[in-house]
């Protein structure tokens, strides 16, 4: 039986039946439902957090494993990036500078602005999105490593080319001159022994007994061997490549033959006094791209610094040439 409630009305001085308005009833129902909903949501959150189901626990463990793997991969990629940056820096500042080669531009690797943009993008991503960027980072590393391999292959070619260049560069005296006593006339303007006028002397004169061996000063191919009536008498011209050419004049006899491949230190003839000459000697010239160079600066392979300084002083003497 439903319980009926009464209240005392002070205006009518009578007890009257208490009637609850519909609006109040609806408000009470809504408040109850809201309280139940909030309590249920809090209960579910607490339950999910502290009492997960088997499936939820499995997913949580999988998520933790993915995060751990990402941390490991991210650290490894960071380490690889650092090592690659050091290699690129050493490549540009050390290896390529040795061979006087231009550094690889940033466009051939990964540009710094692109790297910074990529870093900002990664910082703004969620964990799931970060996982998807790993392949992109690895691909970037692969491209940079590929570019670096191309650079190292180029440097390997430079090394081989440098070895050939060193072998082709005149680097020894053309006659034995351990006592430095055979240099008779230097490069530059000298008195002509025949005409007694000052003329440009395009090489060095080494006074030596007739028959003294003459050596090739670098590897090359003989382009001329004989007497062409040009004043050099019996002479040899060797093309060393890389723009270098040497001339050996006034030989008593020529050993080398045109087209022959010559090694540095190989005998190509013997000292004489053929052609326009006033006595047994070797006239030696060095050319680079058709320009006359002072041969004295190409004796670094068989002279100490003290001997070189002494040779410079002898060559600077304004004496008379032999041819």
Is 42 within the bounds of a domain?
yes
Q: Please tell me the distance from the alpha carbon of residue 23 to that of residue 3, in angstroms, as a whole number.
A: 21
Shared domain for 207 and 311, answered yes or no, is yes
Shared domain for 199 and 291, answered yes or no, is yes
Q: Which sign, positive or negative, has the C-alpha torsion 224, 226, 228, 234?
A: positive
Q: Is the pLDDT at 113 greater than 70, yes or no?
A: no
Shared domain for 17 and 91, answered yes or no, is no
Shared domain for 194 and 306, answered yes or no, is yes
Query: CATH number, domain at 263?
Result: 2.70.70.10
Is 1 within the bounds of a domain?
no
Give which of 308, 314, 71, 310 is closest to 184, Cα–Cα.
314
Q: How many other CB atoms are there within 10 angstroms of residue 188's CB atom?
A: 13
Is 63 within the bounds of a domain?
no
Question: What confidence score (pLDDT) does residue 247 get?
Answer: 97
Q: Please tell me the distance from the alpha carbon of residue 132 to that of residue 139, in angstroms, as a whole number.
A: 12
Q: Is the pLDDT at 295 greater than 80, yes or no?
A: yes
Residue 114 has which token pair? 């692109």
Region of poorest pLDDT, from 9-13, 76-80, 104-108, 177-181? 104-108
Q: How many other CB atoms are there within 10 angstroms of residue 313's CB atom?
A: 9
- The pLDDT tens digits of the residues spanning 45-79 come to 777 676 666 777 778 778 778 777 777 777 777 77
Shared domain for 86 and 159, answered yes or no, is yes
CB 208 within 8 A of CB 280: yes
Q: Please tell me the distance from the alpha carbon of residue 27 to that of residue 33, in angstroms, as a whole number.
A: 10
Spell out the residues 6+ positions from residue 24 whose beta carbon is closer than 8 angstroms to its own.
none
- Residue owning tokens 């006592």: 179
Question: What confidence score (pLDDT) does residue 111 get?
Answer: 47
CB 201 within 8 A of CB 189: yes
Q: How many domains does the chain have?
A: 3
> With left for phi above 0 and alpha for psi between -120 and 50, is residue 143 left, alpha or beta?
alpha
Question: What confidence score (pLDDT) does residue 316 get?
Answer: 76
Is 247 within the bounds of a domain?
yes
Residue 277 has which token pair? 């000459």
Shared domain for 309 and 189, answered yes or no, is yes
Q: For 210-227, what is the HEC assignment?
A: CCCEEECCCCEEEEEEEE
Instruction: Please report, for residues 197, 247, 300, the alpha-carbon distance to residue 232 in angstroms, rounded to integers and kept in the order given.
Output: 19, 9, 26
Q: Please tell me the distance from the alpha carbon of residue 251 to that of residue 222, in angstroms, as a whole number.
A: 15
Shared domain for 189 and 307, answered yes or no, is yes
Q: Please tell me the distance from the alpha carbon of residue 31 to that of residue 37, in angstroms, as a whole number.
A: 10
Is 268 within the bounds of a domain?
yes
Shared domain for 94 and 141, answered yes or no, is yes
pLDDT mean across residues, the chain = 79
Expressed as residue numbers, the domain containing 30 is: 6-50
Is 284 within the bounds of a domain?
yes
Spell out the residues 6+ positions from residue 10 whose beta carbon is closer than 8 angstroms to its own.
none
Shared domain for 161 and 238, answered yes or no, is no
Q: What is the CA radius of gyration of the chain?
A: 47
Is 38 within the bounds of a domain?
yes
**DSSP secondary-structure letter at 103?**
P
Is 13 within the bounds of a domain?
yes
Shared domain for 189 and 292, answered yes or no, is yes
Shared domain for 85 and 197, answered yes or no, is no
Collapsing DSSP states into helix, strand and coil, what is residue 223? strand
Give which of 282, 274, 278 is closest to 246, Cα–Cα.
282
> With left for phi above 0 and alpha for psi between -120 and 50, is residue 37 left, alpha or beta?
alpha
- Residue owning tokens 């190509």: 268
Region of poorest pLDDT, from 94-108, 135-149, 200-214? 94-108
Parallel, antiparallel or unpaired: strands 213-215 and 183-185? unpaired
- The pLDDT tens digits of the residues spanning 259-290 come to 999 999 999 999 999 998 888 999 999 999 99
- The pLDDT tens digits of the residues spanning 202-221 come to 899 999 999 999 999 999 99
Chain-centroid distance, C-alpha 91? 3
Residue 146 has which token pair? 């590929």
- More reliable by pLDDT, 45 or 183: 183
Shared domain for 161 and 197, answered yes or no, is no
Pick the last residue of a domain from 144, 168, 192. 168
């Amino acid at each position: 039986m439903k319980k009926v409630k009464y209240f005392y009305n002070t205006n009518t001085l009578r007890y009257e039946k208490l009637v609850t308005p519909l609006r109040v009833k609806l408000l009470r129902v809504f408040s109850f439902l809201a309280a139940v909903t909030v309590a249920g949501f809090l209960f579910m959150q607490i339950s999910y957090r502290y009492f997960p189901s088997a499936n939820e626990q499995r997913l949580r463990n999988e998520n933790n494993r993915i995060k751990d793997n990402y941390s490991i991969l991210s650290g490894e990629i960071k380490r690889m990036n650092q090592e690659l940056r050091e290699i690129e820096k050493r490549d540009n500042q050390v290896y390529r500078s040795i061979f006087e080669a231009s550094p690889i531009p940033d466009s051939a690797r990964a540009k710094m602005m692109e790297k910074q943009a990529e870093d900002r993008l990664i910082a703004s991503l969620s964990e799931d999105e970060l996982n998807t960027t790993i392949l992109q980072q690895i691909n970037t590393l692969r491209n940079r490593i590929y570019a670096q391999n191309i650079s190292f292959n180029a440097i390997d070619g430079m090394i081989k080319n440098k070895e050939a260049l060193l072998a082709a560069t005149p680097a020894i005296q053309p006659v034995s001159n351990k006592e430095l006593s055979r240099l008779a006339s230097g490069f530059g303007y000298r008195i002509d022994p025949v005409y007694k006028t000052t003329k440009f002397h395009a090489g060095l004169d080494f006074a030596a007994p007739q028959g003294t061996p003459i050596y090739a000063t670098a590897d090359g191919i003989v382009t001329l061997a004989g007497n062409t009536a040009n004043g050099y008498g019996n002479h040899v011209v060797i093309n060393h490549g890389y723009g270098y050419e040497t001339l050996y004049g006034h030989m008593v006899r020529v050993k080398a033959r045109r087209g022959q491949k010559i090694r540095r230190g190989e005998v190509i003839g013997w000292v004489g006094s053929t052609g326009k000459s006033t006595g047994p000697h070797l006239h030696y010239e060095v050319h680079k791209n058709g320009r006359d160079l002072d041969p004295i600066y190409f004796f670094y392979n068989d002279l100490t610094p003290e001997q070189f300084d002494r040779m410079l002083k002898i060559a600077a003497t304004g004496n008379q040439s032999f041819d």
